[in-house]
Each structure stands twice: as C-alpha cells, then as structure tokens.
C-alpha cells in the first residue's frame, strides 16, 4: 500500500509538471499549459498567443514597450533573452529586453500560466543600471498584437469595464478604447461561426491603472500630441499607466505589483466576464460590505430640487427620522442608516469650511451637529439606541483655507500660494498631500476616533480632487494612482473592515476629466454610477446591470438616492416598484430621498419587500445584452438548480411593449433564461401576486409591460407534488423567508419553515398538482387556506414579534 501511494504521488507530480511547460531555445521560447501556448520570437522580441484547442492565433507578434511616449523613436538595438521561473502555483516565462545603446532602461516581462486554467497573467519590472533615477509612467505589456489572423470576425461586440459614473454599453463593433477592462466577443465565420471571446483588464492593483485599446492600423504619434492610425490591420494593446509614474533608484531592480489579466480561451462572454470578476476580487482581497438596509440621505431630503426641502440634514433631525422608522416597525425587517452630510462649501466663509478639521467643533460650527447631539459620539449613540446606524460625508481633497494655513506642509508641493484665488468648490487650487507621513498619521487618528464615536459609513464626495495628476508629493515613491488609493486606505485602516466606504467618482469634464477607475478595488465597497438624481431612468439600471460580473463581487454600484415623489407628486405604484426592483436587485444599495415621515403605508410596505438584499458572490445576469438592445430588458438570477428569478424591463418610457425571453437556448444568442428545454416550469408574478401557470422549456415567455415598467417573476422547475412558487414577503419569492422546503411522498406532507414578520400577514403561494386537496395544516401561526384549481394561497399571521415557524400541510386525493 505504501508503494502504491508513492507511485500515485510521483505520477501526480509528473502530470502537474507537464501541465505547464517552458522551453527556451536560442531564438524561441515557449510557455504552455493544457489550453494555451505563448510563443516568443527572441530575435524580434515579439510574442503570440495560441488557443491549443484548434491552433488559432488569438493575437500575434505583440511586443513589450516602456514609455513609448506620444511620438515613438526608433527602438535601440536589443539583446532579448528568456528564462524559466518556477513559482508555488505554476511556471512563468521571464523575457528580458536589454538595450545595447541609448537611454532606455532594462525591462522584463513575466507571463504566467496556471494548471488547466484559461487565464494569462502579465507582470513586469525594470532594472535601472544608470547612475540616475528613472521614472516609469507606462508599460505596454502587450503592444500591437495582431488580431483575427486566419479568422473572419462577424457579429462582433465589445463591452467596457465601466467604473464610477462612466457610461457602459454593449457596442456592435470590435473597436474600443477603454479603461479598466474590456470584453470582445465575435463569431469566426472561417471556423463554422465558432464563438470567440477575449476578456482583458486589470488584475492586481497598486500604483497604476489600466487601459486597453483595440483598433485598426498601426498607432503613431503626431506633432500635436495626438495619435494617428495607419493601415487597416486590427491590433490590440494592453497598457499599465500613471500620470506621474514610479521612480526607480539607480542600480535597482524593481518588480511592479500591478499586473494584467487575459482570457481568450473561454468562449461564453457571460462566463468569461464572471470568471474575471471573481479573479479581480480574489487577487485584490475584495469582499464589499453588503448594504443590507436602506440609507436615508439627509442632504437629498433637505433639497427642494431632489427631495422635499425638509431641513433634516442635522443630527437631531436625523435622530428623529430614526425614531419614526422604529415606530413604523422598520427594525422588524432591517435597520436604517442615516447619513449626515456636512457639505458647507468654500463660498460662505472666505473659503473656511469643516474640511480638514473634521472635528465636532467645526461640524457644529457650520450647523451639522446640534444639541443635544452636538458630537458624533452622542449622535451615533442616539441613532444606535433606536436600532440604526450613522453614516457621514467627506470632501476628498477640498481643504478649508484656515486648515491649509495651519498645515501648509500637508498640501501638495507644500504650496498654499493660490489660497486667495476664487474657484469652483470642486476645483480647488490647494489640495492635500496624501503621501505626507504626518498628514497620514493625522488622518489615521481621525478615522480611528470617528469609528470609535460610532460612525459606520463614509461617503467620499469629489474624489476627483484627490487625483493629483500633476504630482507634488512629499513622498516621491507615490504615483498618482497610489496617492489616490491612499485616501481610502487610510479610512479603511482607521475604521476597520466593517466600515462602509463609498466612492462618488463622477469624472467627466465637470470634474477635471479625472479617470473613473477600478483601482480602489479591495478598499472601497461602493461606487456611484450617476450624478445627483432622485429620479430613475433606464440607463441607471444598465450602468449597474452591465457590470454584473463585478457587482456584489468586487464592488457594489448604485445610481444615487431615489425619491417616492417627483416634483411633490407621489409616484405611481408601477414607477415606485420599478425603481425599487431594479435598484434593489441590480445594486443592493437603496438610498432614500424621501423622509420616513413622508412615506405612505404602501411606500413603506414596498420598501420592506427589498430586504434582505442579495448576498455577495452573484448578481442578476443581463441575458439579452448581446441582442442589440441599448439597455438590457431581461435579467436572470440562478437561486438554486431549477429555480431562477427573472426581471423583465420595458425600457421604453413612452410606450407599452411586449417583453419576451425564451426559457431555453443559447443564452448569448437568444437571451434565454437558461432553462432545460426538456422540463416544464411554473411562473409566479411577485408584484401582482399571482401564478402565471405552467410553461414548456421550449416556450418563449412573453409579458406586456407598461411604459417604463419592470416586474419580477419566480421561475421554478415543475414538480409532481405541491411546491412553493412565491410569497408576498420578498421580491426573491422565498429565497430569504422560506427554508427547508420538503415533500414527504408517503405522508403527502409539504413542510417548510417561514420567517414571519410580527403582525404582518404573510402569503405563501403553492402550485398543487391536479387531484390533490388540503387535508390539514399544522402551524403555531394563524393559518388560512384558499385553493383555486392548481393555485393555493396560505395566509399566515404570527404575534407581534418576528418568528421562525415550521409549517406542515397535509394533502389527500
């Protein structure tokens, strides 16, 4: 037996060693695993990526460049050599580019493969053999790889990896210039219309951000700093970049922490993107905190344009709102976060604000903290005693003038010489230096104090102001990207992993064209996808929905607070339920622009249908996004095998429409739910509380939706016995409020456990096969039964307290 175990062990080692192989010759180096082959031409310094399943070159003759600049000069003569490097998780190929003349530093590219995996990881570094410091700003780890060699792409589509408020659509082209990441999918007409997909983007983040470009013609710089493209050959380029770059000391070898991800093996774009999202989260240790409660925004409610004009953006008023929420019973469903926004701007007191001081004295001075809650400690205690939690608000790099005068060394370039110059509040001329060690200590102490005072969440407003593209750092080891990340890292370190950190990165021309990036992944929980807006419109849903592979995995996204009123008039039930469904399920973060006291009972009831929110790890997939729609209209969530939740959306805000989704079929090509064509399914409409009957897996599900309407359906594989198909408690139709559902054939017994809300009647909808009748119901709750054909409704009412109660229903012929 011992000999057999040793033999098995040696065979396993041999198989593993063969799964990733490196061969280095005089003019060629090859790295491969079971799926991928990377071929390096060491004479030319170029390399190609091959799909081993059919021998297709997915890119060809790419190279590795460093700081190519706006106009590329002739490359110096290079010595190119390769070596094999073994790691704990696989083998990598390191290729050195050693200039024999000129001023280019030595650079190296690491390409890593893993056992039986479709992913390729690109890492890189620089060896500075000069006597002076070298500053590296851009690495093209894959420069101008030729695309589509031996292929003919048809039906090409791309999707950019949006961040912040960046618009993201599925575009019907193969060309794209994007930040963060990109997906390209197409059919190859020369290979029987085989689908091919490329997903590439940022992997580990530290000091640089990512760009990816797919274009036609070789890219060359022009005299005015722009680029031109010559020819028609398709190319792909992956860049790791930063405005300031990394300083590398003389006679030092530096290995970058920033890396790139590529998968050209996985054919299904949904699966490929979801694999990437999980990898992005894993390598950056991302597990975004779940906003399992609504947030009341004091600022939004206090405005007339977005809210009610009700002055609740102060500590006593928000404690009162928490008391109203408690009295209405919100704590039976979830808690409430109240956000105090100390948003006094530079215009009111000669540039003096709370910003930078961030202490109770200054927050009180400008009216945010008031007696009897004149400190954050008292404010937090007052809210927590009523079952809620306190959030607040910071302006990322908009220092108060008197704070800058007190601490000039804590500002970029140690320069406050333009303090007197008038400016827009979001474009300050004096800003914090987050690389300064004394300022870092000050910030860390402040965050620790605020966390100890009971504050649970922070909204970082105007984070674009912390994007110091012009540098000016006290610590020269910082890049623009790492200094930006430092804003949020200090908060995370000081307040702990449970703190809710929100990055409101809007970018765009208004905000100095600061890029909207994934670089805060693993630090920040939440990014906003829209400007200030308490209304709802279709693109808000698609900006979140088309990031489904990162949503609840690497980040959470949301489209600002939403109000139950528009210009003082209550929204219809249809419009109210539409935004609750789409924001609640595609985001998981519901922020309110309507005060608790202004909610009608129906508004309050509908809000509570959204909690608990979906857990991390999976989100609704926009299954029809590749069918040419501007905005997805069909989203699917796989609860467990045989059970899907389906959102259907009419994105036409002027006309009613039929929205359809096949039950089965190729999801990319048809936008199907992904059901089994050989099975039958029973469908339940949550908001209308009714069964829609039984469908074949070959059918197409069609619903007529009102203009701008979204509805959610439960789709369950039909059983030969009674089964729960929905409830009135939660939009996920039993995912949270029903447990341990079982059918005992011998006793003809349906049993389950329900999570009842004290005092609220809960309806459970059951599909009953022909010929069965209810014989008996056993439950500690008051129960009534209504059986109409195959549709049975059980109404359960518990006492005033929440309870988890077993239910047993017995049937007879």
Mention every residue, 6+ apart, whose C-beta is less than 8 A from residue 768: 722, 787, 790, 791, 792, 811
pLDDT for the residue numbered 374: 98
- Is residue 134 a part of any domain in this protein? yes
Domain end point (choices 283, 316, 345): 283
Residues of the chain with pLDDT > 70, as a percent, come to: 97
Is 340 within 8 Å of 298 (Cβ atoms)?
A: yes
Residues of the chain with pLDDT > 90, as a percent, come to: 93
Query: What is the distance between the alpha carbons of residues 228 and 246, in angstroms, rounded to a whole number?
Result: 28
Strands 803-812 and 634-640: unpaired
Using a 10 angstrom Cβ sphere, with 0-12 exposed, 13-18 middle and 19 or more buried, the burial of residue 690 is: middle
Phi and psi based region of residue 790 (left: phi greater than 0; alpha: psi -120 to 50; beta: remaining): alpha
Query: What is the distance between the alpha carbons of residues 726 and 808, in angstroms, rounded to a whole number?
Result: 17
- Is residue 600 a part of any domain in this protein? yes
pLDDT tens-digit map of 150-187: 999 999 999 999 999 999 999 999 999 999 999 999 99
pLDDT for the residue numbered 227: 82
Domain end point (choices 283, 308, 329): 283
Query: What is the distance between the alpha carbons of residues 126 and 248, in angstroms, rounded to a whole number?
Result: 8
Query: What is the distance between the alpha carbons of residues 329 and 604, in angstroms, rounded to a whole number?
Result: 10
User: For 6-15, 464-473, 649-658, which range has the lowest pLDDT when averaged over its residues?
Assistant: 6-15
- Examine the pLDDT at 479 and tell me if it is beyond 80: yes
- Examine the pLDDT at 5 and tell me if it is beyond 50: no
- Examine the pLDDT at 212 and tell me if it is beyond 80: yes
Is 726 within 8 Å of 755 (Cβ atoms)?
A: no
- Is residue 59 a part of any domain in this protein? yes
- Say which residue, 348 or 198, is predicted with more confidence: 198
Strands 337-340 and 295-297: parallel
Provide the CATH number for the domain around residue 795: 2.60.40
DSSP 740-769: EEEEETTTTEEEEEEEEPTT--EEEEEE--
Query: What is the distance between the alpha carbons of residues 586 and 540, in angstroms, rounded to a whole number?
Result: 10
Query: What is the distance between the alpha carbons of residues 155 and 174, in angstroms, rounded to a whole number?
Result: 9
- Give φ, ψ of 263 to 5 degrees: -135, 115
Using a 10 angstrom Cβ sphere, with 0-12 exposed, 13-18 middle and 19 or more buried, the burial of residue 135 is: middle
Residues 138 and 279 in one domain: yes
Give exposure, 666-680, as e/b (b: 16+ Cβ within 10 Å): ebbebbbbbbeeeeb
Pull the structure tokens for residue 170: 């599925």
pLDDT for the residue numbered 799: 84
Residues 333 and 402 in one domain: yes
Strands 723-727 and 762-767: antiparallel
Phi and psi based region of residue 674 (left: phi greater than 0; alpha: psi -120 to 50; beta: remaining): left
Q: How confident is the model at residue 90 (pLDDT cuts 50, 70, 90)?
A: confident
Residues 279 and 343 in one domain: no
3-state SS of 433-457? Answer: CCCCHHHHHHHHHHHHHHHHCCEEE
Residues 369 and 492 in one domain: yes
- Is residue 576 a part of any domain in this protein? yes
Half-sphere exposure (CA, 13 Å, Cβ side) for 483?
34
pLDDT for the residue numbered 18: 52
Strands 591-592 and 634-640: unpaired
pLDDT tens-digit map of 404-436: 999 999 999 999 999 999 999 999 999 999 999
pLDDT tens-digit map of 742-759: 999 999 999 999 999 999
Query: What is the distance between the alpha carbons of residues 454 and 139, in angstroms, rounded to a whole number?
Result: 44
- Is residue 687 a part of any domain in this protein? no
Going from the C-alpha of 710 to that of each of 220, 572, 686, 729, 734, the distances in angstroms are: 47, 13, 11, 18, 19
Residues 89 and 49 in one domain: yes
Is 182 within 8 Å of 200 (Cβ atoms)?
A: yes
∠ CA(591), CA(594), CA(597), 5° rounding?
125
Number of compact structural domains in the chain: 3
pLDDT averaged over every residue in the chain = 95
Is 173 within 8 Å of 156 (Cβ atoms)?
A: yes
- Give φ, ψ of 323 to 5 degrees: -65, -40
User: For 69-78, 513-522, 529-538, 745-754, which range has the lowest pLDDT when averaged over its residues?
Assistant: 69-78
Q: What is the mean pLDDT of residues 136-156?
A: 97
Count of other CB atoms within 10 angstroms of residue 564: 23
Half-sphere exposure (CA, 13 Å, Cβ side) for 343?
18
- Examine the pLDDT at 639 and tell me if it is beyond 60: yes
Residue in 603, 610, 606 with CA at minimum distance from that of residue 585: 610
pLDDT for the residue numbered 89: 72
Residues 320 and 225 in one domain: no
pLDDT for the residue numbered 12: 40
91: part of which helix (H) or strand (E)? strand 90-99
Q: How confident is the model at residue 223 (pLDDT cuts 50, 70, 90)?
A: low
Residue in 182, 167, 177 with CA at minimum distance from that of residue 261: 182
- Is residue 58 a part of any domain in this protein? yes
Is 31 within 8 Å of 49 (Cβ atoms)?
A: no
- Examine the pLDDT at 14 and tell me if it is beyond 70: no
- Examine the pLDDT at 13 and tell me if it is beyond 50: no
- Examine the pLDDT at 353 and tell me if it is beyond 50: yes
pLDDT for the residue numbered 800: 85
Query: What is the distance between the alpha carbons of residues 144 and 210, in angstroms, rounded to a whole number?
Result: 16
- Say which residue, 662 or 813, is predicted with more confidence: 662
- Examine the pLDDT at 508 and tell me if it is beyond 90: no
pLDDT for the residue numbered 15: 40
636 strand-pairing partners = 621, 646
- Examine the pLDDT at 385 and tell me if it is beyond 80: yes
* DSSP SS3 for 545: helix
Pull the structure tokens for residue 103: 């001023």
Residues 192 and 62 in one domain: yes
- Examine the pLDDT at 568 and tell me if it is beyond 70: yes
- Is residue 430 a part of any domain in this protein? yes
pLDDT for the residue numbered 20: 86
- Examine the pLDDT at 131 and tell me if it is beyond 80: yes
Pull the structure tokens for residue 621: 């997939």
- Examine the pLDDT at 17 and tell me if it is beyond 50: no
Strands 389-395 and 337-340: parallel
Mention every residue, 6+ apart, whose C-beta is less than 8 A from residue 54: 191, 194
Query: What is the distance between the alpha carbons of residues 807 and 463, in angstroms, rounded to a whole number?
Result: 51
Q: How confident is the model at residue 10 (pLDDT cuts 50, 70, 90)?
A: very low
Residues 273 and 345 in one domain: no
Residue in 95, 138, 141 with CA at minimum distance from that of residue 246: 138
pLDDT for the residue numbered 8: 39
pLDDT tens-digit map of 46-56: 999 999 999 99
Pull the structure tokens for residue 114: 């893993």
Residues 342 and 299 in one domain: yes
Q: What is the mean pLDDT of residues 522-551?
A: 97
Residue 740: domain span = 721-813
pTM, two decimal places: 0.95
411: part of which helix (H) or strand (E)? none
DSSP 233-294: EEEEEEEEEEEEEEEE-TTEEEE-S--EEEE-S---HHHHHHHHHHHHHHHTT--PPP--S-
- Is residue 104 a part of any domain in this protein? yes
- Examine the pLDDT at 257 and tell me if it is beyond 50: yes
Provide the CATH number for the domain around residue 400: 3.20.20.70
Q: How confident is the model at residue 228 (pLDDT cuts 50, 70, 90)?
A: confident
Residues 266 and 307 in one domain: no
Domain end point (choices 608, 637, 657): 608
Question: Rg of the chain's alpha carbons, rounded to an integer?
Answer: 29
Query: What is the distance between the alpha carbons of residues 547 and 527, in angstroms, rounded to a whole number?
Result: 12
Count of other CB atoms within 10 angstroms of residue 448: 14
Going from the C-alpha of 391 to that of each of 459, 599, 752, the distances in angstroms are: 8, 21, 38
Residues 550 and 584 in one domain: yes
pLDDT tens-digit map of 598-625: 999 999 999 999 999 999 999 999 999 9
Mention every residue, 6+ apart, whose C-beta is less than 8 A from residue 172: 156, 157, 628
Provide the CATH number for the domain around residue 86: 2.70.98.10
Residues 277 and 330 in one domain: no
Mention every residue, 6+ apart, whose C-beta is less than 8 A from residue 88: none
């Amino acid at each position: 037996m011992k000999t057999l175990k040793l033999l098995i062990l040696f065979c396993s080692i041999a198989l593993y060693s063969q799964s990733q192989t490196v061969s280095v010759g005089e003019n060629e180096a090859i790295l491969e695993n079971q799926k991928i082959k990377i071929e390096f031409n060491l004479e030319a310094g170029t390399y190609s990526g091959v799909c081993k399943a059919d021998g297709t070159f997915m890119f060809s003759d790419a190279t590795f460049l460093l700081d190519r600049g706006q106009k590329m000069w002739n490359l110096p003569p290079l010595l190119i050599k390769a070596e094999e490097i073994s790691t704990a998780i696989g083998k990598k190929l390191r290729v050195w580019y050693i200039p024999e003349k000129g001023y280019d530093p030595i650079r190296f590219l690491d390409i890593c493969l893993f056992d039986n995996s479709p992913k390729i990881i690109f890492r890189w570094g620089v060896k500075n053999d000069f006597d002076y410091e070298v500053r590296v700003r851009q690495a093209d780890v894959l420069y101008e790889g030729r695309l589509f060699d031996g292929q003919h792409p048809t039906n090409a589509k791309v999707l950019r990896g949006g961040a912040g408020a960046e618009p993201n659509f599925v575009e019907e082209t193969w060309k794209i210039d994007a930040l963060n990441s990109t997906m390209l999918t197409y059919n190859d007409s020369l290979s029987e219309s085989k689908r091919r997909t490329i997903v590439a983007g940022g992997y580990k983040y530290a000091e640089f951000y990512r760009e990816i470009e797919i274009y036609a013609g070789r890219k060359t710089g022009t005299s005015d700093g722009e680029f031109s493209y010559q020819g028609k050959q398709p190319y792909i380029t992956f860049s790791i970049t930063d405005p300031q770059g990394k300083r590398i000391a003389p006679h030092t070898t530096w290995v970058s922490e920033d890396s790139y991800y590529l998968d050209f093996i996985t054919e299904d774009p949904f699966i490929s993107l979801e694999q990437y999202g999980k990898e992005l989260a894993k390598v950056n240790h991302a597990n975004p905190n779940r906003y399992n409660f609504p947030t009341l925004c004091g600022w939004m409610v206090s405005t007339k344009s977005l809210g009610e004009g009700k002055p609740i953006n102060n500590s006593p008023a928000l404690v009162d709102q928490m008391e109203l929420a408690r009295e209405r019973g919100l704590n039976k469903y979830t808690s409430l976060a109240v956000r105090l926004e100390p948003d006094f701007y530079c215009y009111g007191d000669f540039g003096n604000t709370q910003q930078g001081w961030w202490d109770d004295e200054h927050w009180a001075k400008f009216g945010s903290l008031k007696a009897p809650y004149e400190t954050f400690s008292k404010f937090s205690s007052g809210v927590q005693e009523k079952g809620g939690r306190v959030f607040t608000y910071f302006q990322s790099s908009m220092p108060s003038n008197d704070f800058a005068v007190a601490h000039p060394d804590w500002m970029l370039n140690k320069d406050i010489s333009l303090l007197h110059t008038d400016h827009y509040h979001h474009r300050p001329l004096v800003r914090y230096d987050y690389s300064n060690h004394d300022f870092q200590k000050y910030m860390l102490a402040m965050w620790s104090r605020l966390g100890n005072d009971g504050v649970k969440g922070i909204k970082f407003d105007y984070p674009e102001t912390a994007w110091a593209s012009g540098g000016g750092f006290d610590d020269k080891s910082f890049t623009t990207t790492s200094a930006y990340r430092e804003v949020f890292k200090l908060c995370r370190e000081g307040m702990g992993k449970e703190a809710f950190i929100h990055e409101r990165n809007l970018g765009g021309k208004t905000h100095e064209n600061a890029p909207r990036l994934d670089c805060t992944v693993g630090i920040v929980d939440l990014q906003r996808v829209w400007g200030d807006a308490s209304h709802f419109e279709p693109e808000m849903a698609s900006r979140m929905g088309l990031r489904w592979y990162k949503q609840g995995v690497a980040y959470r996204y949301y489209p600002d607070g939403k109000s139950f009123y528009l210009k003082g008039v209550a929204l219809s039930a249809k419009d109210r339920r539409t935004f609750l469904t789409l924001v609640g399920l595609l985001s998981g973060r519901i922020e309110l622009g309507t005060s608790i006291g202004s909610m009608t009972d129906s508004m309050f009831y509908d809000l509570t249908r959204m909690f608990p929110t979906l857990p991390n790890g999976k989100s609704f997939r926009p299954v029809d996004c590749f069918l040419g729609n501007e905005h997805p209209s069909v989203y699917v969530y796989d609860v467990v095998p045989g059970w899907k939740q389906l959102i259907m959306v009419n994105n036409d805000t002027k006309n009613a429409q039929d929205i359809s989704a096949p039950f089965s079929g190729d999801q990319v090509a048809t936008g199907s739910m992904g059901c089994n064509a050989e099975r039958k399914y029973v469908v339940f409409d949550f908001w209308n509380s009714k069964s829609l009957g039984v469908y074949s897996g070959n059918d197409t599900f069609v619903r007529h939706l009102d203009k701008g309407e979204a509805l959610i359906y439960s789709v369950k594989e039909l059983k030969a016995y009674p089964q729960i198909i929905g409830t009135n408690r939660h939009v996920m139709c039993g995912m949270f409020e029903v447990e341990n559902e079982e059918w005992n054939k011998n006793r003809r017994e349906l049993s389950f456990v329900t999570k009842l809300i004290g005092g609220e009647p809960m309806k459970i909808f059951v599909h009953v096969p022909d010929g069965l009748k209810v014989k008996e119901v056993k439950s500690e709750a008051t129960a009534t039964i209504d059986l109409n054909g195959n549709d049975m409704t059980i109404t359960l009412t518990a006492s005033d307290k929440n309870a988890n109660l077993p239910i047993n229903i017995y049937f007879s012929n």
